[in-house]
Structure 1
């Protein structure tokens, strides 16, 4: 019977693979969408970049989850936690930068803009 550490390591590896697959599939789907829709050069390129960015963002979430599972469940040493913190920090900065690139605003602006708008009544 496998130990908890072996199961956690396997689950971490599974999440790593899933993250890579999501990024690759996201890129392939974005390319397929670009070819099929055959948009104008400017709009197609922008949409292509946004689609790829969404795939990368989702893939990064799985990769961060894999790092957390492996570091906390398998090797909970101070060095491992510090490395995890650095990895999560780098990936969070990448995710935030991608989200700003995709949406054209900071993630926290979305919530405050919705709260400032008056509600429509019918």
Structure 2
């Protein structure tokens, strides 16, 4: 049975997709950080003490989403004929990013309950 795509072509396509997904993650994180900075400055100028927590929650959601995009890029990277070393590296990266995302989500939820009053 002939290959649908030669492996070299498939690797090039996947590498392009990885770069696109990772760029999307970086854009999400940058957009969140830039917007959060503006919100922080506005809150600071207004003397809004609760604004800091709100800004952290806002930024945290963008960071969590950006980490998901970065993890998706890592998964894509190992989609085409991965070696055991790449699988091990993916497992380590996935574990670290999942832990970061877990603790970030927990912090967001804790601060959300503080802001929401319960």
- Cα RMSD over matched residues? 2.1
- Partner residue of 2:114? none
Question: Which residues in structure 2 correspond to 1:1-122 (within 5 Å)?
Answer: 3-36=9-42, 40-73=47-80, 75-104=81-110
The answer for unaligned runs of 5 or more in structure 2 is 112-118
Stretches (4+) displaced over 3 A: 34-41
TM-score by length of 1: 0.76
Compare relative contact order (CA 8 Å, sep 6+) and give the higher one, 1 or 2: 2
Name the count of aligned residue pairs. Answer: 104
TM-score by length of 2: 0.79
